[in-house]
Structure 1
Amino acid sequence: MEFDKIDVPDEGEPIEVIDEEADEFEVPDTPIIPILHGDGIGTDVGPAAQQVLEAAANATGRDIAWMRIYAGETAREMYDENLPEDTVNAIEEFRVAIKGPLTTPVGAGFRSLNVALRKTLDFYANVRPTYHLDGVPSPVSEPKQMDMVTFRENTEDVYAGIEWEAGTDEVEEVREFVEDDMGFDDTIHSGDVGIGVKPITEFGSKRLIRRAIDYALEHDRDSVTLVHKGNIMKFTEGQFRDWGYEVAQEEYGDEVITEDTLWEERDGEQPDDAVVVNDRIADNMLQQVLTRTDEYDVLATMNLNGDYISDACGAQIGGLGIAPGANFGDARCLAEPVHGSAPKYAGQDKVNPTAMILSGVLMFDYMGWGDAAQLVKDAVEETISSKQVTYDLERQIEGGEKLATSEFAEAVVENIEKLS
């Protein structure tokens, strides 16, 4: 594939897809990996993450051929547009990529550049692991109990929602259709009203839940919890739950059992090689992640619920500054931190790059580079537990040593070299 304004590295090789539907691919020792530093603090955390990830690859006998791509502010400078075809095509071609935060400018034609990338390339699963690192201050007494992975549907629900503004002719047409043509006389209150609809499909729900169950089986997790508000929204969120149980019961045989089966037939005794699928109401789940933290492993949910719950989980382990994420599609991955672009701190070499570095851990794990992933995680934890931290953590840690973004990356690299 030819690109307009970006160069393909000469020394690397592309990741080869063996079976897209089965999510099978072959990763060379020097893969070409597109990297998008991002807007705002992306100019600081992007290079820091790149340095750390390359050091871990080298320490495990590999290398990375980085390919710079652009979106947002840097793309407007180069292409006079926010999301150029070069960027989309590079991620499509090379299959695994990592990006920093992006800011969507007002009037840009997108709800969100991040969402546009996910939907354009069909990254249907937003995956957010939440775990505590030694030394990170936490508002809870036992943060180590938190070790969950949220699979959040990435293409439907509010991401595909349609809204009509209060006071417009269009919203009145929708109101009349709902109340008169559909017969829901008392559904909408009188006066000005905004109306929105959100789609939840069987196809989208099942492939997300299937991905969560596969992850649980591959990573020796005990359970997958379907999180929904199906007690109220029975034909959208309730259907998500029902479709989830269909996947579990029809596609996995003895590898998966439901919570009902666990208690009714096995008296709570879980088989060693099986994953338990259960479900929880979303508002109750927000309580349970705090009060019964260690009872949950993998969460599968729709878009909006997943946003709320993953952020609530992140608060228990120190906040979004250390919260990693990635987007999975079929034989493709786009890693990205959960936090935003924080433009007022851009270029100051002060913010915490841990979230983007740990997003690279998730990317490595997806690639099958488990040893490199573990090395990065261990080195980050060693750096933080030794109280070498950026300003956001230093102000909370007695005796902490405040490091710049670049200095923190260098400290992590030093620990990679010591641990390897």
Structure 2
Amino acid sequence: MAHKVTLIPGDGVGPEIAQAARRVIDASGTNIEWEVVEAGEALIPQYGTPLPGYVLDSIRRNRVALKGPITTPVGGGFRSVNVTLRQELNLYANVRPARTLPGIVTRYQNVDLVVVRENTEDLYAGIEHRVGTDAAESIKIITRQASERIARFAFELARKQGRKKVTAVHKANIMKLTDGLFLECARKVAREYPDIVFEDMIVDAMCMKLVQAPENYDVLVLPNLYGDIVSDLCAGLVGGLGVAPGANIGHEVAVFEPVHGSAPKHAGKNRINPLAMILSGIMMLQHLGEDEAANRIYEAVLAVLREGKALTYDLGGSAGTSDMADAIISKMQA
């Protein structure tokens, strides 16, 4: 079966890792027709935005996209392309798996959990304004509809993946109305899934327990801002953002992407680890129902990591981005 997929290379190191992922996915035998669309800082002079309308049109048309990182100005300028994509396309669920991989040195073993983050509201939605010249205010919005929707998504993901426990993470001891509503909704949805263990955890305690014993957790569901922070913490447990894939999923469309930044100082040097992009591509293939191809790539990735000969500098090797892609393709073809 042929699939048409939007490919957004992004900027900085995005085009290099996007090309590596595309080559690996094509070598898996999956029949994908790529529609390549450009987005990023270089387009601002022409379109007045790093995210021209044709990018959104392509994603809506194809319903699935694989996206490289795009530079976001800090402290001013254009707001995050990622936030805009999530809100424009109603990509309400951010999914970030964190799994121990062979050959990657970390302080932890046997980590295998998924962070499910509400993607459309909370403080991270960026509803803020100045109050006079010496203050600024950000508005935290939590709704029943979004909270129940993300909780149900987390439980359905747990069922689909054969996971046993969902932990709702919050700060309802202090934010009794907003986080209190999120927790109330999670508890309500949990009653619909008696086969899955449910617990809740205050976010600061959750961070401590993840550092102490991450193997005790399975699926975490969080409001937007906590989810952004905790998902990076979980990436640190398994080797960092270089091996952290992600997905933004809605009812109509899904966008898959590595969660690291665009690292413009490394652009064009063929040295960035492509694994986060390739692992995001595996998630995309699973979403498309191409489980056999996804498994083929994943097993090849594991083989390359175990062998340890074609690793990029952050993994302790000297291979380039394209070299690592070549090694993964070679393992698939062996």
Tell me how far apart the structure 2 counterparts of residues 70 and 110 of structure 1 sit (CA, whole Å): 17
Matches within 5 A, 1:104-183: 104-105=72-73, 110-138=78-106, 140=107, 142-144=108-110, 146-165=111-130, 167-168=132-133
Larger-Rg structure: 1
Q: 1:99 aligns with which of 52, 56, 67?
A: 67
Partner of 1:38: 10
Cα 1:84–1:379, aligned 2, differ >3 Å: closer, same or farther? same
- Map Cα deviations across residues 40-69 of structure 1 (whole Å, 9 max, x no partner): 01021110011111112x1xxx31111101
Q: Which residue of 2 aligns with 1:217?
A: 159
Query: What amino acid maps onto 1:135 in structure 2?
Result: G
Q: How much does 1:246 deviate?
A: 1.1
Task: Identify which range, 303-312 or 65-74, moves more after superposition.
Answer: 65-74
Paired residue for 1:53? 25
Distance 1:91 1:77 in 2: 23
SS in 1 for 2:20: helix
Inter-partner Cα distance in structure 2 for 1:78 and 1:32: 27
Tell me the secondary structure at the aligned position of residue 151 of structure 1. strand
Corresponding letter in the other structure for 1:229: K
Q: Assess if the C-alpha contact under 8 Å between 1:82 and 1:108 holds in 2.
A: no
1:217 Cα deviation after fit: 0.7
* Match status 1:414 vs 2:333: no
Is 1:302 the counterpart of 2:244? The answer is no
| Kept in 2: contact 1:126–1:152 (CA 8 A) | yes
Q: Which residue of 2 aligns with 1:382?
A: 303
Give the total of aligned pairs: 333
1:101 is paired with a residue whose SS is coil
1:103-160 per-residue CA deviation (whole Å, 9 max, x = no partner) reads: 134798632111111110010111100001100111x1x322x111111111101233
Aligned counterparts, 1:68-87, within 5 A: 68-76=36-44, 79=47, 81-87=49-55
Q: Which moves more between the two structures, 155-164 or 71-80?
A: 71-80
1:194 is paired with a residue whose SS is strand
Instruction: Kindly provide the amino acid, as one letter, of the partner of residue 276 in structure 2.
Output: A
Shift of 1:306: 0.6
1:238 aligns with one of 174, 180, 183: 180
Distance 2:11 2:4 in 1: 22
Task: In structure 2, give the amino acid aligned to 1:416.
Answer: M
Query: Does structure 2 conserve the Cα–Cα contact (< 8 Å) formed by 1:128 and 1:149?
Result: yes
What is the aligned counterpart of 2:314 among 392, 399, 419?
392
Which one of 253, 267, 271 corresponds to residue 346 of structure 1? 267
CA distance in 2, matches of 1:338, 1:92: 22
Distance 2:95 2:14 in 1: 20
Render the CA deviation track for 1:362-406: whole Å, top value 9, x for unaligned: 111111222222221211121122112011112xxxxx4x21101
2:234 and 2:109 map into 1 onto residues whose CA distance is: 10
Question: Once the two structures are superposed, what CA deviation does each residue of 1:299-346 show, in whole Å capped at 9, x if it has no partner?
Answer: 110111111111111111110011000101004210010100000000
Distance, in Å, in 1 between the alignment partners of 2:288 and 2:120 is 23
Q: Which amino acid is the alignment partner of residue 372 of structure 1?
A: A
Q: Secondary structure at the match of 1:355?
A: helix
**Structure 1 segment 365-376 matched on structure 2, within 5 A:** 365-376=286-297
Distance 1:229-1:77 versus aligned 2 partners, 3 A rule: same
| Equivalent residues of 1:135, 1:384 under 8 A apart | yes
Letter in structure 2 aligned against 1:391: Y
Question: Unaligned regions of 5+ residues in structure 1, if any?
Answer: 1-28, 169-191, 258-273, 395-399
**Match runs of 1:283-302 below 5 Å:** 283-302=204-223
For structure 2, the 5+ residue unaligned runs are none
Q: Distance in 1 between matches of 2:227 and 2:123?
A: 11
1:404 counterpart (320, 329, 333): 320
1:198 is aligned to: 140
What CA distance in whole angstroms lies between the structure 2 residues aligned with 1:417 and 1:55? 8
CA distance in 2, matches of 1:291, 1:105: 34
